[in-house]
Amino acid sequence: MQRDSDVATVPRLLSQVARVRRGSGTHDVATALAVRLMEGVVDVEVKAWLRSAFVRWRREGGDLVAHLRLPTARRFRLACRDLWLRDAARYCVGKPWPRTRQLEGEIARFMAYRWLAWQRQHEVPPGARPLEVCLFLAAHAHPELPRSTRALYRVIADAFSEDDDTTSKAT
């Protein structure tokens, strides 16, 4: 069971990113809402999602997870990883493809130098750069990070439009 004091130590970078995108699938929406809930962000959207799931569960019975419309545990971990990778990409600059290449280099450095020392830690180590925080949380969600540029591009490209470089946190 998580104490209130533990909740304060959870980084809240994702809560700004885990917004529901237009055209998202049901599982994508549920995953984003579940991550926000796990971070302690209980806004109007999260409350509505929980309420509707409990109403359906009370009315129809069955598995509450199905009524929450969450994916399987493995797919949930992958979706969380992808959300954190999209957040990490916001610290890189440029259009989607150059941003992907830059993030790929950051992931390679992180996995080679930081992850070996940090992988057994449960909290983000002090002094981590914001991009390293995102990569730490992505690797904790699912330790297999995309290995190819194209696979990483598929994860992060839909979060950025070709014409908009203003979403970068690096500027």
- pLDDT score for 27: 62
Is 25 a residue whose pLDDT tops 50? Answer: yes
148-162 residue pLDDT tens: 999 999 999 877 754
The encoded tokens of residue 63 equal 């598995």
Is 8 a residue whose pLDDT tops 70? Answer: no
Long-range contacts of 159-163 (CB under 8 A, 24+ apart): 159/17, 159/21, 159/86, 159/89, 159/90, 160/89, 160/95, 160/96, 160/99, 162/95, 162/96
- pLDDT score for 67: 92
79-102 residue pLDDT tens: 999 999 999 999 999 899 999 999
